[in-house]
Amino acid sequence: MESYGSTGLEGLLQKSYTVKIGEYISSGWATVQKNIGGFIGFTLLVVLINIVIAKINQSASPVGSLISIMISGPLNAGFLIVAFKLLRNRATTFGDFFRGFNNYLPLFLVSLVSGVLIVIGFILLIIPGIYLSVAYTFALPLVLEKKMNFWDAMELSRKLISKNWFSFFGFAIVLALINIVGALLLGVGLLVTIPLSGCAVAAAYADIVGLPSATSDL
């Protein structure tokens, strides 16, 4: 596993940036349109998986929750993998949505550990949980795109986003509202708004962290 060098880390944290919410949403929508069939198909599959998991959970079995914990990181990474390829103007296949499983352990760990810390934060008077849920926005893409270990990615994401946390909080609220609208459209709208959210995060990452084309196979 490659680590993000200290020089690059210091440079990234010293960098000033502006959170361009409208631009990220617009870029996210443009990215979804480049492969709208693939995004809708993958989102539908993810939704169906979650429905099955919910059915298992109704039987009071811990199996459903365990499955969800095991697969959520790599599955969520699928949206980013395809979004990054499209942002680099590269061709994609439906199989790209599942390439997160090729880098399973770090994606699983960043999803698990950040999720646990966020839950603990919500238990501790809610505010710490809100802070961490926003601050870890770039943790998954950093593990995926920079090949960082899970803890370094979480810390870099937290430090970087904390420089402009309230703007990112606004970004998160906008994405939440978009998905609420998707849910109100008989739930069908989520097939578009969920990948739109992922692609908007990918656009924010590309703008703030950077997305070099020569150093990644994504």
Rounded average pLDDT over 7-24: 84
* Domain ranges within the chain, ordered by starting residue: 20-208
What's the pLDDT at 15? Answer: 83
- Inform me whether the pLDDT recorded for 206 exceeds 80: yes
The string of pLDDT tens digits covering residues 26-76 is 999 999 999 999 999 999 999 999 888 888 877 766 777 788 889 999 999
pLDDT higher than 50, residue 22? yes
The answer, yes or no, to whether residue 154 has pLDDT greater than 50, is yes
pLDDT category, 2, cuts 50, 70, 90? Answer: very low
Is residue 215 scored above 60 in pLDDT?
no
Model pLDDT for residues 99-131, shown as the tens digit of each residue: 999 999 999 999 999 999 999 999 988 899 999
Q: Can you give the pTM of this predicted structure? A: 0.90
Give the DSSP letter string of the chain. Answer: -----HHHHHHHHH------HHHHHHHHHHHHHHTHHHHHHHHHHHHHHHHHHHHHHHTT-THHHHHHHHHHHHHHHHHHHHHHHHHTT----GGGGGGGGGGHHHHHHHHHHHHHHHHHHHHTTSHHHHHHHHHTTTHHHHHHHH---HHHHHHHHHHHHHTTHHHHHHHHHHHHHHHHHHHHTTTTTHHHHHHHHHHHHHHHHHHHT---SSS---
- The pLDDT-based confidence of 216 (bands split at 50, 70, 90) is low
Task: Tell me what pLDDT residue 185 has.
Answer: 87
Query: pLDDT tens-digit profile of 168-197?
Result: 999 999 999 999 999 998 888 999 999 999
CB within 8 Å of 114: residues ≥ 6 apart? 132, 136, 139, 154
